[in-house]
Chains A and B, each alone.
Chain A
Amino acid sequence: MLVEKYFPKNFSEIKGQQAVVKSVLAWINTWGVEKKALLIYGPPGSGKTTLVKVLSKDLGYDLIELNASDKRDQHILNRIVGNAASSKTLFGYKKIILLDEADNIHGKEDFGGSKALLEIIKNTQNPIILTANSYWEVSQSIRDNSKLIQFKKLQSRTIFSRLKEIALAENIVSDEETLMKVAEQAGGDMRAAINDLDSLGKKLVKGDEKLIGSRDTETSIFEALSKLYMSNSIDVRKEFFNVDKKPEELLLWINENTPKAYKGNDLIQASALLSKSDIYLKRAFNTRNYSMWKYASDLMTGGVSVVGKTDSRYIPFSPPKYFQILGSSKKKREMKKKILEKIGKKCHCSKNVAKSYLPMILALFLNPKKGALIANFFEFDMEEIKFIDEKNYRKVILAREELLKEPEKMEKDRVIPKSSEEKIESKKEFSKEKEDQKLKKEINQQKTLFDY
């Protein structure tokens, strides 16, 4: 296979990515100064994995590789990568850890994978390189702990020149025009171009490029979106056939970006279509009748295209906020649920009714001592107090500590410790005892409360 035969052997053979190669080199040569992990993202065939392989060979590193075909759950990551990451080699071999297609670590199969990976990145003794097609599909926490480098699609010219070199070396006869067409058809994917060349035999004639079966090149969501908004045609829906996104996800993308492209009435009509499309998705889901997806897709793509048109040449598309913040918002919802459950339990009501206590609690928090007292009753922890009132929570927590200190002072006077070590121990014991007492007291109080 030509792809393997002409796999670049050193940096000079890597085409068209000079700038990124430099920054990757700089990162590895000064490793430890900057972030410990590198996230290289870019379209398929742009040379991400190739670069890492060439790099490790050229610089004399051992490459430890784990790609998407391997299961990458918490356990396996810790075992394979974790070991490699934390151990410095005895004999002076340096290691690079490559996690190919890191955007595919998720879901049930790789349970705990991305959490484990984060830990590994934080503690690694060796450079870790992740590759992905799109950076937003790698979890935020991993992104925050990695240096990000983007690989752009290769230009057709770059691919063409590489094809020419290979053709020459392989004695493949071809005119430049056909070769250029093959390069163009690959859509920036070097691997695809070389494979196509491989499939055309030793002699290429004009029109041969048409023999190449059209590849399902993944249209980038950005391209598809810009076609959607720039044109005014129902045929736009076809552009999305090759976008690798689930319909629900696609809907969020379109919903996020439509207000950037459309204004006024166009926008409102688009919004109506998206809402309807959403309902089709839900119906499909509820009835397990996924053939209904097509109506949803048609409305959200072709439909939205037809109802509006944009004048702007450049629209700053962005991935849906929904995904970005959903993680943290889920946490908040959980927190709120916990708080309401605590209130409900103490006040004989459901979580829903418990909501009506929040304003009162919030008002009492303005007075730290009262706030602390009521927080004690509901047994809110610090996180929950902070959640209820981000502004005043510090004062409330301080007041709560004050409440705890008062009995502590008295005990301190009673205990006269002999040595410093004992002092700490006895203190601990005492505070434990104290807590027990408090608990008992609390139980007593509650009993009297109910039994009046």
Chain B
Amino acid sequence: MEFERPWTEKYRPQKLNDIVGREHIIKRLNSYVNKKSMPHLLFAGPPGVGKTTAAIALAKEIFGEYWRQNFQETNASDERGISVVREKIKDFARTKPIGGDFKIIFLDESDALTSDAQNALRRTMEVYTSTCRFILSCNYSSRIIDPIQSRCAIFRFGPLSNEAIKIMIKKISKEENIDLKEDGLEAIAYVSEGDMRRAINALQASSGIGDSITESLVYQVTSRARPEEIKNMMHVALSGDYISSRKILQTLILEQGLSGEDIIMQMHKETFNLEVSDKEKIMIVDMIGEADFRLVQGANEFIQLEYLLANLSLGKR
């Protein structure tokens, strides 16, 4: 079947040296390639800054043609229970490496593992250390228990610079024969906030809609991504019309299938775009935080989110 890949995959750097904007990290990783050996690694940083790319590229360079056999990728946020560590990871760690001295387990979003699972992981790391190395990636290294941190070499991936984003976007545009305008490039770099995945997706999305990538097109596309309904819902609530905002909430949850967690997250993001005073914004953040906490405790997202909307509508009164 004919298909088109997302450009984040099509242009994912295959070699360490192809990765842009990560010179210091690449230098250290290259030394592992030269030695054909490495300790356990911990990659910390926000999404879209090259953690997975670096891990895959490292495996390819160390293992060459056998990289597929010696590299396993597991996502901890999708399978966060202790059973993942006990079964899936252990099973892989147990088997012998092919054509090399060790194999690599890449555990993405490992900060999503429960502390029980992390403790189990710590043991696994020790027991199989002769045949197996771990690369743990996480958004926040503070969520990784100390004993694991102390067993790893830590690499911090900050948000990518605008320059790095621009280099990549220009490269892709050239390959794809896209008419990329200067202001379009600036806009992509701006909306990406240092997240390469977001930048490339914005480029590909824009290319699906218009022939040449301009500033206005980029903003149009990225605002399409922004859930306008949530912003609208907040506006309606803030204007004091609790009943209408409640109806919007019901549509979001029941008809569009958004989770309470999604909505809270978006509401938090949108708070900073609201046309209210900064003082009020802080109050709203506090309310959202309380609702988030209640959502974790509370049984029903309807009731908690409705209460949040009620609070917002009260603010104006």
Query: What residues of A have a CB within 8 angstroms of the CB of B8 in the complex?
Result: 347, 357
Q: Are A377 and B4 in contact (CB under 8 A)?
A: yes
Q: Are B6 and A347 in contact (CB under 8 A)?
A: yes
A271 to B306, CA, bound (A): 7
A259 nearest in chain B by CB position:
B243
Within 8 A of B (CB), among A258-313: 259, 264-265, 267-268, 271-272, 274-275, 278-279, 281-283, 285
Query: What residues of B have a CB within 8 angstroms of the CB of A370 in the complex?
Result: 4, 208
Map CB proximity to B onto A362-377 as digits: 1 under 8 Å, 0 otherwise: 1111110011011011
Q: Are A351 and B307 in contact (CB under 8 A)?
A: no
Query: What residues of B have a CB within 8 angstroms of the CB of A358 in the complex?
Result: 225
Q: Are B3 and A374 in contact (CB under 8 A)?
A: yes
Q: Are B75 and A344 in contact (CB under 8 A)?
A: yes
From the candidates A322, A349, A363, A366, name the one contacting B75 in the complex (CB within 8 A).
Answer: A349
A145 to B47, CA, bound (A): 49
Pick the most buried of A326, A377, A450: most chain B CB atoms within 10 A of its CB: A377
Is B24 located at the chain interface by the 8 A CB criterion? no
Query: What residues of B have a CB within 8 angstroms of the CB of A333 in the complex?
Result: 257, 259
From the candidates A272, A283, A360, A450, name the one contacting B201 in the complex (CB within 8 A).
Answer: A360
A365 to B68, CA, bound (A): 33
Map CB proximity to A onto B104-115 as digits: 1 under 8 Å, 0 otherwise: 000011001000
Q: Are B205 and A363 in contact (CB under 8 A)?
A: yes
Given contacts A350-B77, A373-B4, contact A248 B109 (CB under 8 A): no
Given contacts A274-B307, A325-B255, contact A248 B224 (CB under 8 A): no
Query: What residues of B have a CB within 8 angstroms of the CB of A404 in the complex?
Result: 1
Is B299 located at the chain interface by the 8 A CB criterion? yes
Given contacts A271-B306, A374-B3, contact A279 B298 (CB under 8 A): yes
Q: Are B303 and A321 in contact (CB under 8 A)?
A: no
Query: What residues of A have a CB within 8 angstroms of the CB of B205 in the complex?
Result: 359-360, 362-364
Given contacts A255-B306, A272-B307, contact A357 B201 (CB under 8 A): yes
Q: How far is the CB of A440 from chain B (nearest CB, A)?
A: 12
A329 nearest in chain B by CB position:
B254
Map CB proximity to A onto B298-315 as digits: 1 under 8 Å, 0 otherwise: 111011101100110110
Given contacts A268-B310, A352-B77, contact A278 B298 (CB under 8 A): yes
B5 nearest in chain A by CB position:
A377
Within 8 A of A (CB), among B247-270: 250, 253-257, 259
A403 to B2, CA, bound (A): 7
From the candidates B243, B255, B300, name the one contacting A248 in the complex (CB within 8 A).
Answer: B300
From the candidates B52, B206, B300, B307, name the one contacting A252 in the complex (CB within 8 A).
Answer: B300
Map CB proximity to B onto A325-349 as digits: 1 under 8 Å, 0 otherwise: 1101100110110000100101111
Given contacts A255-B306, A329-B253, contact A282 B6 (CB under 8 A): no
Q: How far is the CB of B227 from chain A (nearest CB, A)?
A: 10
Map CB proximity to B onto A427-446 as digits: 1 under 8 Å, 0 otherwise: 00000000000100010000
Is A228 located at the chain interface by the 8 A CB criterion? no
From the candidates A259, A265, A346, A350, name the one contacting B108 in the complex (CB within 8 A).
Answer: A350
A254 nearest in chain B by CB position:
B303
Query: What residues of B have a CB within 8 angstroms of the CB of A336 in the complex?
Result: 257
Is A356 located at the chain interface by the 8 A CB criterion? yes
B73 nearest in chain A by CB position:
A348
Is B35 located at the chain interface by the 8 A CB criterion? no
Q: Are A363 and B209 in contact (CB under 8 A)?
A: yes
Query: What residues of A have a CB within 8 angstroms of the CB of B306 in the complex?
Result: 255, 271, 274-275
A374 to B205, CA, bound (A): 11
A359 to B222, CA, bound (A): 8
Map CB proximity to A onto B1-32 as digits: 1 under 8 Å, 0 otherwise: 11111101100001000000000000000000
Is A221 located at the chain interface by the 8 A CB criterion? no
Within 8 A of B (CB), among A397-452: 403-404, 438, 442, 449-452
Q: Are A351 and B3 in contact (CB under 8 A)?
A: no
From the candidates B1, B253, B257, B302, name the one contacting A255 in the complex (CB within 8 A).
Answer: B302
A341 to B307, CA, bound (A): 32
Q: How far is the CB of A62 from chain B (nearest CB, A)?
A: 44
A410 to B294, CA, bound (A): 62
Is B103 located at the chain interface by the 8 A CB criterion? no
Q: Are A275 and B2 in contact (CB under 8 A)?
A: no
Is B279 located at the chain interface by the 8 A CB criterion? no
Q: How far is the CB of B298 from chain A (nearest CB, A)?
A: 5
A268 to B255, CA, bound (A): 25
Is B136 located at the chain interface by the 8 A CB criterion? no
Q: Are B3 and A377 in contact (CB under 8 A)?
A: yes
Given contacts A259-B246, A274-B303, contact A376 B3 (CB under 8 A): yes
Within 8 A of A (CB), among B212-262: 221-222, 224-225, 242-243, 246, 250, 253-257, 259
Is B198 located at the chain interface by the 8 A CB criterion? yes
B64 nearest in chain A by CB position:
A451
Q: How far is the CB of B49 from chain A (nearest CB, A)?
A: 12
Q: Are B225 and A376 in contact (CB under 8 A)?
A: no
Map CB proximity to A onto B62-92 as digits: 1 under 8 Å, 0 otherwise: 0001001000010111100000000000000
Is B297 located at the chain interface by the 8 A CB criterion? yes
From the candidates A275, A282, A366, name the one contacting B209 in the complex (CB within 8 A).
Answer: A366
Is A96 located at the chain interface by the 8 A CB criterion? no
Q: How far is the CB of A140 from chain B (nearest CB, A)?
A: 14
Is A132 located at the chain interface by the 8 A CB criterion? no
Is B122 located at the chain interface by the 8 A CB criterion? no
Is A251 located at the chain interface by the 8 A CB criterion? yes
Given contacts A274-B303, A275-B294, A282-B299, contact A348 B56 (CB under 8 A): yes
Query: What residues of A have a CB within 8 angstroms of the CB of B307 in the complex?
Result: 271-272, 274-275
Q: Are B78 and A351 in contact (CB under 8 A)?
A: yes
Q: Are B206 and A377 in contact (CB under 8 A)?
A: no
Given contacts A282-B297, A282-B299, contact A356 B5 (CB under 8 A): no
Q: Are B201 and A356 in contact (CB under 8 A)?
A: yes
Given contacts A285-B299, A364-B204, contact A268 B311 (CB under 8 A): yes
B109 nearest in chain A by CB position:
A350
Given contacts A282-B297, A347-B9, A374-B6, contact A251 B303 (CB under 8 A): yes
From the candidates B3, B14, B52, B225, name the one contacting A348 in the complex (CB within 8 A).
Answer: B52
A363 to B226, CA, bound (A): 13
Pick the most buried of B201, B242, B307, B313: most chain A CB atoms within 10 A of its CB: B307
A229 to B201, CA, bound (A): 52
Q: Are A268 and B314 in contact (CB under 8 A)?
A: yes
Given contacts A329-B255, A364-B204, A452-B14, contact A377 B6 (CB under 8 A): yes
Q: What 9 A-B pairs are tightest by C-beta distance, nearest first?
A: A359-B225, A373-B4, A332-B257, A363-B205, A376-B3, A275-B307, A377-B3, A364-B208, A271-B310
Q: A259-B246, A275-B304, A360-B208 are in contact. List 9 more A-B contacts (CB 8 A).
A: A267-B242, A275-B307, A282-B299, A329-B257, A344-B75, A350-B77, A352-B77, A353-B47, A376-B4
18 pairs from A and B in contact (CB 8 Å cutoff): A336-B257, A346-B6, A347-B9, A348-B73, A349-B75, A352-B109, A358-B225, A363-B204, A363-B206, A366-B208, A373-B3, A374-B3, A374-B4, A376-B3, A377-B5, A404-B1, A438-B1, A452-B14
